[in-house]
Amino acid sequence: HQPIPSSFSFDTRNGEEPIHISAEKRYDLNHASTNLPVDDLSPILPTPQKISQKAGTFALRSGLVIIYDGPIRQEAEYLADLLGEVLLGTAVIASATDEDTADIYLRINSTRDNASSEGYRLQVSEHSVEIEAGSAAGIFYGIQSLKALIPSGYYRVPGNEIFIAQVEVDDAPRFDYRGQHIDVARNFQSVEMIRKLIRLMALYKLNKLHFHLTDDEGWRLEIPGLPELTQVGAVRGFSTVTGEMLPPAYGSGGTAGSAGLGSGFYTRAEYIDLLRYANRHHIEVIPEINGPGHARAAIKAMEARYERLMSEGKEAEARTYLLHDRSDTSRYVSAQNYNDNVICVCQENTYSFLEKVIAEVVSMYREADAPLSLIHTGGDEVPHGAWTGSPECHRLIRDEPELHSEEDLHPYFVQRYLDIASQYQLKIGGWEEITLTSTDDGHRPNPKFIGQGVVSYAWNAIVGSGGEDMAYQLANAGYEVVMCNASNLYFDLAYDYDPEEPGLFWAGYVDTRNAFELTPSNIFLSVFEDEEGNALDGLALSRERVALQPGAEENIIGIQGALWGEAIKNPSMLEYALLPKMLGLAERAWAPSPSWLGESTRGGLKSAIDSEWARFTNRLGKIELPRLDHHDDGYAYRISPPGAKMINGLLHVNHEYPGTVLKYTLDGSDPTSASTIYESPLKIEENTVVKIRAFSTNNRKSRITEIEVSPPILN
């Protein structure tokens, strides 16, 4: 048999799609990250509103005295613990009696002239450190800025004395809502991993942890009285017993509890402990209880409960929390290819279930003495065709005058969810779908929930898709909006299109620069290409879309990164996907509006963004990433591969983050920590294969960049 000749070509609008990112392409991409002196960089990230660096230093010494004035003993203890990580010896904590004895003075000043309760003032002088704020949260963020002044090496080897720069900082956040979403339903993450995430968020002044606890593939929170939610809904594997567990998904393995993160949940006690831990770090945990779509785990768990109680002859009790209409003949397929993942919103059992779950969740927050202002409903991706074959829904539509078709059932569910949450003085949040209504030409804001305590999380702003302006439409209409733009802030998306790069790409590729460039008040300013990498004029696009109106800017209450869990198989993958992208998020969430807001031409925009990006990348390469190498036992952040290019007969090598150590070999072997450090352009012999790697300060390494120096082609 002869093989069948074949060839494959995958085309984009710009011709053949590249399979690998070449060394030369990476070099050109990195070229915007020009090398800057470290003394020209802000020592604090995210960038403060105002910072003045003075000549001289202050010495942090073993046994220093921390004095606090106000109800901030917890923050003083946090600072003492922090200093214990880098200083030999123990700090002394005392309440304010004689502030002249203080090395570090923490003070609440309720009359501070600052619009934000989270603002602070940090002053490091020759003889002392003073942090003043109007709230405990402000004191906490001032401590984070003080922490940023400590050289990273002391997290590896503590010392008796640490000299930090004298500075004056007057600071406050740009947004009140600075969030990070984490999906533990698709793949579970341990309590310790969530605690580490909380510490990381606090380090960069993020204050909202959106906890995606439930979805089709998992229910991750113990609810007293509903054991099947975790006995069935938190377990994935293969079973010959119908309804015993959820099926395997995302590589979780066929055996329940096998290698993988398919099984697991947080007990009530563990969740309360996490709430207390987050609260100590001034982070509010926002629980997501998903519905009406993305609810297969809950549906199957309550079906198992129904079967158990029916077998015990308890029919009325069995039906109490049943989430599906057993007579439903609807045919649909969800975005994740499920045909049974939508709750029946037309039966009272569903709202009995929500009342039970929300009551139990609220009780956990009350026991933890932790803040809870909002419960997230999810609410997205309800497939077309759901409820069309449900007798319960036919009956409800017939009996309720405001319902005319299945199209009205989603808002009906949102209203019922809101009514339950309102009993506890809670708002509800949801993905943008819960605040939209269908029109002949797409979607528009639904006026029904404006001013009713419904927060819209706008995500579907894929560049070039036509929905980039939905956040602005919603804000202009009067909704509070959290921007979660997939093209900038979905951190499970791959950093780039190299096939060795892990991650998804349905909304394009998201790297640290995408997060850094997001301009919440005008996202079009930083648009230069679409999700496929094709050139796109953002300024021209903005003229075709809705702009954020004056007066509506206050309705953009914040921004949030999202880390979906389908491709996150272990803690290292989580940290790789999250970092350093999350640092771009933190900068945009806290720092003042970027300088490029005043530019009106594409050339001016590109130049201004490149300039700000260069400062940011230098800050990361020379200060921030080395700190993450040793802080909190280190983080497995992504180390991007180097770029390399032959220019005028010399091999030039660069990196996305200036200051990163680059090492190379010329003999075909893979670079190791013992290989030669690249310091300046190299003269390379013909027919030589050069391999280059980037290394962190704790000797983690990037993928290899390889370039072959070939003899010139003679005509």
The residues with which 246 forms a beta bridge, in sequence order, are 236
3-state secondary structure of 701: strand
Query: What b-and-e string marks burial along 241-278, b requiring 16 or more CB atoms within 10 Å of the CB?
Result: eebebbebbbebbeebeeebbbbbbbebeebbebbebb
What single-letter DSSP state applies at residue 64?
Answer: -
Which residues have CB under 8 Å from 100's CB, separation 6+?
none
85 is catalytic: no
Q: What is the DSSP code (8-state) at residue 541? A: H
Q: Are 125 and 166 in contact (CB under 8 A)?
A: yes
DSSP string, 463-524: TTSS-TTHHHHHHHHT-EEEE--HHHHBTTB-SSS-TTS-SB-BTB---HHHHHH--TT-GG
Q: Which residue in 244, 360, 367, 381 is the catalytic one?
A: 381
Q: Decide if 124 contacts 96 (C-beta within 8 A).
A: no
Residue 357 main-chain phi, psi, to 5 deg: -65, -45
CA distance 133 to 118: 8
Asked if residue 129 lies in contact with residue 83, where contact means CB atoms within 8 angstroms, the answer is no
Question: What are phi and psi for residue 48, nearest 5 degrees?
Answer: -70, 160
Q: Which two tokens stand for residue 226?
A: 């509903």
3-state secondary structure of 45: coil
Q: Are strands 104-108 and 129-133 parallel, antiparallel or unpaired?
A: parallel
DSSP state of 451: T
Angle, helix 73-86 to helix 136-148, in steps of 10 degrees: 10
Helix 409-422 vs helix 348-368: crossing angle, to nearest 10: 40
DSSP result, 603-661 = HHHHHHHHHHHHHHHHHIIIIIHHHHHHGGG------PPPEEEEETTEEEEE-SSTT-E
- State phi, psi for 574 to the nearest 5 degrees: -60, -50
Exposure class string for 317-342: b at 16+ Cβ within 10 A, else e: ebbbbbbbbeebebebebebebeebb
Q: What backbone torsions phi and psi does residue 586 show, to the nearest 5 degrees?
A: -60, -40
**How many Å apart are CA 446 and CA 413, to the nearest integer?**
14
Strands 65-69 and 104-108: parallel
- Which whole-number Å values give the CA distances from 162 to 88, 258, 291, 292, 563, in the listed order? 10, 47, 52, 55, 36
**CA distances, 464 to each of 217, 357, 512, 535, 542 (Å):** 31, 40, 20, 11, 11
Q: Which residues are catalytic?
A: 381
